[in-house]
Amino acid sequence: MFSYRHAFHAGNHADVLKHTVLIAVLDHLLEKETALTVVDTHAGAGLYRLDGDYAGTSGEAAEGVLRLMAPQTQSDDAAPLADALARYLAVVRDFNPKGGARIYPGSPFITHHLLREQDKLKLFELHPTDARTLAANIAQLEAGRQIAVLREDGFGSATKFLPPPSRRALVLCDPSYEIKSDYGRVLDFIGAALKRFATGSYAIWHPIIPRPEAHDLPRRLRTLATKAGKPWLHATLTVKSSKIVTDATGAQHRPGLPASGMFLINPPYTLKAQLAIALPQMAARLAQDRHAAFSLDAGV
Ligand code: SAM
């Protein structure tokens, strides 16, 4: 059914952007005592081994979290790491008490790590193997009723938790976009979710690749948020050119994911300023060629 496995991509540049933003949003939302519900519509397996077969084969973490963790040489940007990035690395380090980064936490474990007793976490994962691994990983936490793992379609089922009884929730929508219809389903899902719960916080990850649906998605999310009268924030990170490269033998190579974005509806008011400092550092430190860049836009 699915071929996408997040284990190949864990800790890559897209995870650095996504998880840095996730942690910054959670830190802000958790300042209030009232219980928070986090709904993770596409949860993945939860925990990944960066020295395991999947991550080792792709080597993507080496260009992402591992590059960020490496000690800076004198020629590198000497400025201290932005707070949001330092916080992200501190969370990854919490999962690796012996040093290094053999273990990479996915969104369910990052979120659980930050949540308090009164908060709830709802995890959707449809891939049979990843859903089983996720359930087994979560079972180790002995989190009881705080966490629900559902092997259901996140797009179709996640709105049932909205609004939660405390009327405070963050929805993370992080599909693999391996099928073209995912782009439209994100829009339908966010539209339906906003109708049920207009004051919720929404964080949507999206790939930036040369295909029309990918190009349109952030523009259509912006229209959705604006029509609903809700503030939005859009952060993107590019690490390399999206051009197909032809080598000396004439063989063509696709560059792999060159860029991605996080689109937020009802973002914390503090987030834009935090990302304005963190994004230039992400682009500088994760650059793979001279096309590395970032953008940060906001609106009401
Ligand atoms: N959010 C995770 C993280 O940050 O660690 C990574 C998630 S990965 C990008 C997307 C996941 O969605 C994959 O594990 C895939 O199996 C799962 N998936 C695909 N379609 C789904 C659907 N309709 N509902 C729930 N999960 C789905």
Q: Give, using CA atoms, the residue closest to atom 16 of ligand 1.
A: 127
ipTM: 0.99
Q: Give, using CA atoms, the residue closest to atom 4 of ligand 1.
A: 107
Distance CA 136, CA 16 (A): 25
The domain spanning residue 136 has which CATH number?
Answer: 3.40.50.150
Q: Give, using CA atoms, the residue closest to atom 12 of ligand 1.
A: 42
| Residue 36, domain member (yes or no) | yes
Average pLDDT (215-224) is 98
Ligand 1 site-directed mutation target among 110, 125, 155, 206, most atoms within 8 Å of CB: 125
Distance CA 54, CA 287 (A): 23
Q: Is 125 annotated as a binding residue?
A: yes
Work out which ligand 1 atom sits closest to the CA atom of 40: 1
Residues with a CB atom less than 6 Å from ligand 1: 2, 4, 6, 18, 42-44, 106-107, 124-127, 130, 153-155, 174-176
When pLDDT is cut at 50, 70 and 90, the band that residue 245 belongs to is confident
Q: Among 70-79, 120-129, 130-139, which is the least confidently predicted range?
A: 70-79
Q: How confident is the model at residue 271, as a pLDDT? A: 98
Average pLDDT (241-258) is 88
**Segments forming the whole domain that contains residue 183:** 6-70+81-299
Query: How many independent structural domains does the chain possess?
Result: 1
| Residue 150, domain member (yes or no) | yes
Look up residue 55 and give its DSSP letter: H
Report long-range pairs for 275-280 (Cβ below 8 Å, ≥24 apart). 275/21, 275/24, 275/84, 275/233, 275/235, 277/82, 277/83, 277/84, 278/20, 278/82, 278/83, 278/84, 278/85, 279/235, 279/237
Q: Which of 242, 234, 181, 187 is closest to 210 using CA atoms?
A: 242
| Residue 76, domain member (yes or no) | no
Residue pair 124/157 in contact (Cβ under 8 Å)? The answer is yes
Task: Tell me what percent of the residues of the chain surpass a pLDDT of 90.
Answer: 84
| Residue 157, domain member (yes or no) | yes
The residue count of the chain comes to 300
Structure tokens at 25: 């949003």
Average pLDDT (17-23) is 98
Work out which ligand 1 atom sits closest to the CA atom of 106: 5
Q: Is the pLDDT of residue 258 over 90?
A: yes
Q: Which residues contact 242 (CB under 8 A, 6 or more apart)?
A: 208, 209, 210, 255, 258, 259
Which residues form the catalytic set?
A: 174
Task: Write down the mean pLDDT value for the chain.
Answer: 94
Q: Is the pLDDT of residue 77 over 60?
A: no
Q: Is the pLDDT of residue 75 over 70?
A: no
| CB count in 10 Å sphere of residue 135 | 17
Q: Is 142 annotated as a binding residue?
A: no
CA–centroid distance, 131 to ligand 1, in Å, is 9
Q: How confident is the model at residue 56, as a pLDDT? A: 66
| Residue 250, domain member (yes or no) | yes
| Residue 75, domain member (yes or no) | no
